[in-house]
């Protein structure tokens, strides 16, 4: 990254620790308030790691090579047919993709002339560099410590990332303090959204007992008979039958509503329709394939008043600050 790019960033961004402005410093940015420095990494992207924290989350390596490759274009249909029309329901200019992965959505929004930004963990930077992503638009940051000014964004979206916040290695095993981490993340998403702006959150619904996007365990999961059986079922069918209560990494509508509205003071909470959300290729990898038409019919016809309940397989919601 060139020095003039860095100085242009200074006015746009804020310190993730104290929210003061940033100015250029040797090989990076320096907070004008607390003096924290943030350097440009080997791949050319700014790393918003706190000077003072161990920040273990920051070193999570969640993305194997093959996955990054497929992620470059996956989600394209979802973006074109669902997310972009949803964003377009209201006027917007500034957008943040929190947990942007390979940043397909951010790149599309930039092509359309929007002021779009993406953040993800530092392990993504090598893939961003390879894909030619713009270091003034993509940052290595933790969703619980965002490097943006208060109220900067018209829309913030967090799709398929919230369920991994507060986990030990970025997958499923929850840290003991995951609730505090998730609260910090929600407060940050709310902080950077302008009053009246929107936050869109999506992940499989914890209260619905079936998840086809995540296996039952990660390398950190303590072994148990139950987990063994669930893993065997998942390996055979592609379907993860999971707990709907207690400590589990997925989020439910009541939990998300509590965090954003009751605790965070957001004004609106609208569970969104699932029609057109799924490309049905994902179902073709599972034993649900014979029921494809039935599943599609169910998802497309779920009555609006049941969207926020346990009969909805997905937690997909628009929150109004």
Q: Which is nearer to Zn ion, 15 or 155 (CB)?
A: 15
The Cβ of residue 61 has, within 10 Å, a number of other Cβ atoms equal to: 11
In the complex, the smallest distance separating the C-beta of residue 31 from Zn ion, rounded to whole angstroms, is 3
Q: Which is nearer to Zn ion, 18 or 27 (CB)?
A: 18
Q: Cα 150–156–158 angle (5° rounding)?
A: 130
In the complex, the smallest distance separating the C-beta of residue 171 from Zn ion, rounded to whole angstroms, is 31
In the complex, the smallest distance separating the C-beta of residue 13 from Zn ion, rounded to whole angstroms, is 11
Q: Which is nearer to Zn ion, 38 or 117 (CB)?
A: 38
| Cα–Cα nearest to 117, from 92, 80, 90 | 92
Assigned token pair, 304: 């609006």
Q: Which is nearer to Zn ion, 191 or 214 (CB)?
A: 191
In the complex, the smallest distance separating the C-beta of residue 37 from Zn ion, rounded to whole angstroms, is 10
Tell me how far apart the alpha carbons of residues 320 and 302 are, in angstroms, rounded to a whole number.
23
In the complex, the smallest distance separating the C-beta of residue 51 from Zn ion, rounded to whole angstroms, is 9
Q: Which is nearer to Zn ion, 23 or 33 (CB)?
A: 33
**Is the CB of residue 277 less than 8 Å from the CB of residue 314?**
yes
Residues recorded for the chain: 321
Q: Which residue has the tokens 């609106």?
A: 268
Q: Which is nearer to Zn ion, 15 or 217 (CB)?
A: 15
**Is the CB of residue 31 less than 8 Å from the CB of residue 37?**
yes
Q: Can you list the pairs that 28-35 forms with residues at least 24 positions away whose Cβ atoms lie under 8 Å?
A: none
In order, the DSSP letters of 247-305 are S-SSB-HHHHHIIIIIIT--SEEEEPP-TTT--THHHHTSTTGGGHHHHHHHHHH--GG
Q: Which is nearer to Zn ion, 17 or 63 (CB)?
A: 17
In the complex, the smallest distance separating the C-beta of residue 147 from Zn ion, rounded to whole angstroms, is 10
In the complex, the smallest distance separating the C-beta of residue 25 from Zn ion, rounded to whole angstroms, is 12
Q: Which residues bind Zn ion (CB under 5 A)?
A: 15, 17-18, 20, 31, 33-34, 36
């Amino acid at each position: 990254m060139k020095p003039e790019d860095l100085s242009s960033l200074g006015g746009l961004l804020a310190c993730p620790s104290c929210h003061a402005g940033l100015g250029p410093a040797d090989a990076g940015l320096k907070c004008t308030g607390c003096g924290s420095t943030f350097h440009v990494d080997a791949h050319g992207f700014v790393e918003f790691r706190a000077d003072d924290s161990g920040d273990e989350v920051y070193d999570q390596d969640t993305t194997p090579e093959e996955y990054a490759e497929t992620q470059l274009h996956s989600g394209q249909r979802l973006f074109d047919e669902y997310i972009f029309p949803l964003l377009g329901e209201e006027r917007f200019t500034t957008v943040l993709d929190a947990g942007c992965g390979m940043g397909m959505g951010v790149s599309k929004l930039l092509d359309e002339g929007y002021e779009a930004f993406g953040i993800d963990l530092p392990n993504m930077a090598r893939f961003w560099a390879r894909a030619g992503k713009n270091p003034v638009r993509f940052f290595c940051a933790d969703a619980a410590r965002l490097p943006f000014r208060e109220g900067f964004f018209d829309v913030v979206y967090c799709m398929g990332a919230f369920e991994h916040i507060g986990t030990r290695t970025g997958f499923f095993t929850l840290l003991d303090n995951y609730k505090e981490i998730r609260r910090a993340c929600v407060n940050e998403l709310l902080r950077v959204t302008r009053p009246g702006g929107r936050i869109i959150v999506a992940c499989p619904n914890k209260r619905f007992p079936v998840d086809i996007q995540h296996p039952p365990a990660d390398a950190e999961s303590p072994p148990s008979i139950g987990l063994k059986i669930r893993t065997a079922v998942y390996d055979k069918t592609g379907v993860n039958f999971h707990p709907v209560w207690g400590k589990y990494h997925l989020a439910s509508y009541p939990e998300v509503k509590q965090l954003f509205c009751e605790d965070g003071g957001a004004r609106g909470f609208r569970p969104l329709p699932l029609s057109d959300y799924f490309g049905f290729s994902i179902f073709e990898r599972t034993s649900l394939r014979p029921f494809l038409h039935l599943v599609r019919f169910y998802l497309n016809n779920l009555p609006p008043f049941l969207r926020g309940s346990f009969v909805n397989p997905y937690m997909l919601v628009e929150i109004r600050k």
